[in-house]
Structures are given as structure tokens and as C-alpha cells.
Amino acid sequence: MTGSVVLVHLAGAVALLLWATRMVRTGVERAYGDVLRRKLRGTLKNPLLAVAAGGALAIAFQSATAVSLLVGSFAGSGIVSSAAGLVAVLGADLGSAFVVKLLTFDLSLLVPAALFTGTAIFLATERRAWRQFGRILVGVGLLILSLQLIGDASEPLRESRILPVIINYLSGDPITAFLIAALATWLFHSSVAFILLVVALAARGLVPAELGVVMVLGANLGGGLIAAMLSRAMPPASRTVPLGNLVIRGIGAMLALTGLVWFAPPLDMLGASAPLQLVHAHIAFNLALVILGLPFAGLVTRGVERWASYAAPAAPVTLEDKEASALDPEALGTPSRALANVTRAVVGVCETVEVMLKNIMELYEEPDRARMDALAALDDRVDRKHAAIKLYLARITTDDMSEDEERRTGELLDACVKLEQVGDIIVRNMLVHVKKKLDRGLTFTPEGWRELSNLHASVLSNARLAFNVLISRDSSTALQLVREKDRMRDIERETSQRHFERLREGAKKSLETSTLHLDTIRDLKQINSLLASIAYPVLEEQGLLGGTRLKAAE
């Protein structure tokens, strides 16, 4: 087998390892995330409980990084102190080390059992919690399978002529090996995945124990770096925990590397084989960080907070600030310029409404409370934009305004009002349906969900047509939009009829979700009608609108 083919097989096995780890993590987050967050809040005040809770979460999430970001957000919100959060993250790192130990056992029999059971559960039910549990089992099966594939793919490397040269060089240059391991871990975005790869290579005799321990220490530094980098966009208070963890792990890893190079302690006490020595070194290092980090957690977090307060950059200009700047008060005396400014601001409202309309259906499929709160915040943004645009239009000088400019002023104001109403329907009606669906654990029938998805796709497509009409005032696009409204009426009627047919047949899921289904159809139809009405002024101006119906096409 050629070297390139070996690398392709190894890359595929590593990719499967990363994907499987992600499957387990996202499955746990979606199924049990809210419960785990509530439990975590009450245990972080006790240092020992914080260590245990952090370790348990890392085992559940298969990721200390996810725990670091979660606890960091708690600290930023004032739910827990930064010191208590840092202690929990140190416990999460220790829990992550035990995950590596667990995965080094012979778990080959679990692969078919986990894959079969997980797939069966996922396909047999529509209940969200059970489907995510099936996802977790499939992820565990793929995770173990990927480790076997890594071992098989690395077997031909025993005969490589280049690999021994690289290994010999890194063995003689531990600093380079340490930095390469840290960088590779950051690129993997998973210290568990990288350490498992090193352990698998050591099991094949490709990586000596001394070099492997150096790379394990580098992986620990890289693991702290992942969360620190991912928290860049978070508020300074929320970054304290990930940065504090990076400081402790970085100092600890460099001190351990120095002791390893200078004193060259025997590794036999860590295990009888190279893989065991690497795994036990990883556990011992993180256990030492927990013990030594407990008394220094407060000092480290205070230092990081002080540094963050000095290093915090000036607040970036937000999208909302840029949109507000479009409403230039100096242009109020020139109607043409002022209306152009309003058009730019309304485009921003259209973009926000489009994001809301797209995200609401994703929440129907995968409800998530954090994303639900974010969607509600978008509606607040739409309300603020609408108020600013309305006040700006009221201040435009009307003395020199032409008839076309007066008509355009009315169009923009009317469109902005309709966009605000669309946002209200999404948040005050549809988001309430999502919360009800989540709280009651309801699921739509496959047929019902397919019908709602198709209806939503049509509304989203019509929304984009409406936004184009608002900007371009193109009569052909406006005609297409109003015709789509008529077609939507037929789709809505057919969808409701099929739903009632399922009710007559006694479909249990249809009975449970009947109100949600019909209310969602009504809301989507109302949104579509509001968006289609944006085309009416253009058609009326072109003489293509007669009464309440389109004139017959010539």
C-alpha cells in the first residue's frame, strides 16, 4: 500500500472520529442540555461538587471545550463566580481524560450493538428526546469504530521509511513536538480525538512513550487554546473562565515539559505499555491541575479579569449601528436623498425578517431555548428599526417633495409596518407554538411536517420576491408575487383538507398536534398575505390592479 493511500485511509478514520465525537456532543446537548444546565447552576458553588459536575458534563458532552464555553457564559451572566467556573472546567478536563481511558478498552462488541440500537431508536420514533438518544448511541458506535479504523490504517506505517526519521527528529526536539501537538489539537478542535490518535499510533509501536507524553502535554495546551479562541466574540466577563483555564493549563504543561526534559523520569510507573503510559500521564496531569489549581483559581481569574478590562477593544460597530447611520439627519432637507436613506434602512429590516422567517421553521424541527430567545431579540430589533424609520419619514421636508416622492414615502412606511407585523406573527404566534411543542414533547406526522415545510418554503420564496419588489418596483415581479398569493390560497386549502383526512382516519399524532398544525398554517398564510400586499402599490400605479383582483393579462 502506497504512502498516499495510507494517509487517505488515516485521514478518513480521523474524520470519522471527529464526526462521531460531534454526534455524541450535539445529541447530549439537544436532548439533555437544559436539564444539565439547571443541575450545573446549583452545584458550582461547592468546589468539590464543581469538579465532579464539570467531569460528569465532559463525559456526557465528550468535550471539555463545550463545558468551558457553557460555564463561561454562566460566569458572564453572574450565575456563578469566575473562580467556581474555572474549578468546574478543571474538573471537565479531568473528566475528558477519563473519556480517553474508557475508549482505550476493547469495546469492539459495542460497535454493532450501539449502531443497530441507535439507528432503530432514531427511525422508530418521532419523539425528540428518544431520537437524540439514538443519535448518541450511533455516535458512540462510530467513535469506537473510528478508533479501530485508525489502528488498521496506521498498521502499514510500521514499514514506512520516512516516519522513523520524523519520529527520531521530534524525539530529539521535544519543544517542536510539544508545539506541533498543540497546533494539531487546535486544528482538530478536540483534545480527546488527538490524544486517541497518538495512543493508537503508540499501540502500533510508531510513537515511543517519551515522545507520546510530550505530545499529550502539547494536546492539553491545545485543548485550552480551543475554548479561548472560540470565546473571542463573547463578552469579557464570559471569557474569564476559558482564558483562566488556558493560563493554568499552559503554565502546567510547560512546567511538566520542563521537568520531563530535565529529569527524564521513568515512565514504567504509569503502565506496562506505551499506550497505558500515555493515557495515565494524561489523567495524572489533569488530576495535578485540579489539585494545584483549586487554591489558585481565584488569583488566576482576578488576574485575567484585570487583563481583559485593559485589553478589551473598543465596542465594534454593530449592524444596527450601521443601519441607524443610514438615516442621515442632514439629508432630511432633500427628499430624494432622505428616501434613498430610508430604502437602505428598510433593506436591513427585510434582511432581519428573512432571518426570522427562516429560523422559525428550524426551531419547529429542533427547538432550542437559547435560539428561541435570540429570535425574540430579533423582533425587538425590528421594532426599534421600524420606530426609527417612522420618525425619520415624519421629519422629511415635504415642501419640495414631488408626487412620486410622496407616493414612495407612503410605500416605504406601509411596507415597514407590514414587516413589523410579520415579525410579530413569528414571535407572538409561531414561537409560542414552538414552546408548546417543546414543553409537551409533541411531534408532527411525517406527512404533516412535509406539508408544513413545503408551505413555509413557498412563503420564504414569496418573501424574497416581496423584498425585491420593494426595492426594484418591478411590475412583472409584483405580478408574480400576487399570483403566488392566489396559489398559496390553494396550497393552504389542500394542506388543511389532508390534515382533516388524517384526523378522520384517527392518526394519533395528528390528533396531538392538530391545533399546532392548523395554527401554523394560518400564521404562514397571514404572513404571505402581508408580504404579497407590498406589491399592490406597484400594480396599482401600473393599472394592473382592479378592485381586489388582478386584471386579466392582456
pLDDT tens for residues 419-464? 889 999 999 899 888 888 877 777 777 777 788 888 888 888 888 8
Instruction: Give the pLDDT of residue 553.
Output: 41
pLDDT band at 552 (very low <50, low <70, confident <90, very high): very low
Res. 317 pLDDT band, cuts 50 70 90: very low
Whole-number Å distance between alpha carbons of 175 and 173 = 6
Q: Please, what's the largest Cα pairwise distance for the chain?
A: 93
Least confident of 110-114, 138-142, 364-368: 364-368
Domain extent listing, the chain: 3-306, 319-550
198: its cell numbers: 497518538
* C-alpha to C-alpha distances, 53 to 39, 48, 59, 184, 522, nearest whole angstrom: 9, 9, 10, 28, 45
Exposed / middle / buried, residue 97 (Cβ in 10 Å: 0-12, 13-18, 19+): buried
| 217 within 8 A of 278, measured Cβ to Cβ | no
Confidence of residue 314 (pLDDT cuts 50, 70, 90): very low
- List the alpha helices (DSSP H) in 312-368: 319-326, 335-365
pLDDT at residue 532 is higher than 80: yes
What residue type is assigned to position 379 of the chain? Answer: D
Return the top range by mean pLDDT from 173-177, 269-273, 459-463, 501-505.
Answer: 173-177
Give the up-direction half-sphere exposure of residue 464: CA atoms within 13 A in the CB hemisphere. 7
Tell whether the model's pLDDT for residue 205 goes beyond 80.
Answer: yes
**pLDDT exceeds 60 at position 507:** no
DSSP string of 251-319?
HHHHHHHHHHHHH---SGGG-SSHHHHHHHHHHHHHHHHHHHHHHHHHHHHHHHHHHHHHHPPPPPPPH
| Angle ∠(474,480,481) on CA atoms, nearest 5 | 90
Backbone angles phi, psi at 546, to 5 degrees: -115, 110
> What is the CB neighbour count within 10 angstroms for residue 60?
21
Residue position matching grid coordinates 463578552: 235
**Look-up: residue for cell 421636508?**
397
pLDDT surpasses 80 at 294: yes
Give the pLDDT score at 38: 58
Select from 28, 54, 58 the least CA-distant residue to 39: 54
- Decide: 331 and 271 in contact? Cβ < 8 Å: no
Interval 323-362: pLDDT, tens: 455 677 777 778 888 888 888 888 888 888 988 888 888 8
How far is it, in rounded angstroms, from Cα 323 to Cα 326?
A: 5
Could you give the CA distance from residue 519 to residue 432 in angstroms, rounded to a whole number? 11
Q: Which range (97-101, 331-335, 345-349, 530-534) has the least confidence?
A: 331-335
pLDDT of residue 44: 66
Q: For position 250, what pLDDT does the model report?
A: 92
Cell of 187: 486544528
DSSP state of 353: H
pLDDT tens sequence across 16-50:
877 887 787 777 766 666 556 556 656 666 778 88
Confidence of residue 506 (pLDDT cuts 50, 70, 90): low
Q: Left, alpha or beta for 189 (phi > 0: left; psi -120 to 50: alpha)? A: left
Q: Which of 62, 63, 69 is nearest to 85 (CA)?
A: 69
Segment 290-314 shows an average pLDDT of 79
Task: Using pLDDT thresholds of 50, 70 and 90, give the confidence band for residue 78.
Answer: low
Strands 545-546 and 549-550: antiparallel
Mean residue pLDDT across the chain: 80
- At residue 546, the 3 state secondary structure works out as strand
* Architecture of the structural domain at 319-550: Up-down Bundle (1.20)
